[in-house]
């Protein structure tokens, strides 16, 4: 029983971090200057999608995830380059479902170290803020999940 709960917390967090690292790398590589709020909202959607992928079958989860992203794109009038980058991140997120956890963690750690180095060297305040947001967002949800598991076990 405990393994199932850990899987419901651990796997979505790791999968969502792969999505977030992809968004940040694309933002740096293509030197994109749209508002950071679109990436923050995309990370939130990516986390919800990762939870959906851990709860439903892959086909149902894919359909629900696409509907969620279409809703996000329509409600917030997202620019085209942000849509393309979000869809690339979503593709990586789907592909990461088939990777081993060790490989996912390696990608995330190397990605965060590279992004932190680039942010430090270039003095990019927006990227630094985004890195902090992504890290804190996932840490807080992971802690909330662990607290929920402890409450459910009692």
Distances (CA, A) of 102 to 107, 109, 129: 9, 11, 27
The C-alpha atoms of residue 43 and residue 39 are separated, in whole angstroms, by: 6
pLDDT (tens digit per residue) in 40-93: 888 888 888 888 888 788 888 888 888 988 998 898 888 888 888 888 888 888
The C-alpha atoms of residue 62 and residue 88 are separated, in whole angstroms, by: 14
Band (pLDDT 50/70/90 cuts) for residue 3 is low
Q: Find the helix packing angle between 80-96 and 36-55, rounded to 10°.
A: 30
pLDDT, average across residues 31-41? 78
**Residue 58 near residue 101, CB atoms below 8 Å:** no
pLDDT number for residue 2:
57
pLDDT number for residue 4:
62
The C-alpha atoms of residue 80 and residue 123 are separated, in whole angstroms, by: 27
pLDDT (tens digit per residue) in 118-142: 777 776 677 777 777 888 888 888 8
Element at 111 (helix H, strand E): helix 101-122
The C-alpha atoms of residue 27 and residue 43 are separated, in whole angstroms, by: 13
Give the chain's count of helices (H) and strands (E). 6, 0
**Residue 1 scores a pLDDT above 70:** no
pLDDT, average across residues 135-151? 80
Query: Of residues 60 and 32, which shows the higher confidence score?
Result: 60
Query: Of residues 148 and 68, which shows the higher confidence score?
Result: 68
């Amino acid at each position: 029983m405990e393994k199932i709960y850990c899987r419901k917390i651990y796997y979505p967090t790791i999968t969502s971090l792969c999505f977030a690292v992809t968004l940040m790398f694309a933002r740096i590589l293509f030197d994109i200057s749209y508002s950071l709020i679109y990436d923050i909202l995309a990370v939130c959607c990516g986390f919800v999608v990762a939870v959906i992928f851990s709860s439903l079958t892959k086909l149902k989860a894919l359909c629900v995830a696409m509907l969620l992203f279409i809703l996000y794109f329509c409600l917030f009038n997202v620019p085209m380059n942000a849509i393309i980058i979000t869809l690339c991140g979503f593709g990586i997120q789907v592909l990461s479902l088939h990777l081993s956890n060790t490989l996912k963690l390696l990608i995330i750690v190397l990605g965060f170290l590279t992004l932190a180095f680039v942010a430090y060297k270039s003095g990019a305040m927006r990227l630094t803020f985004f890195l902090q947001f992504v890290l804190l967002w996932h840490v807080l949800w992971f802690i909330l999940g662990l607290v929920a598991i402890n409450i459910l076990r009692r």
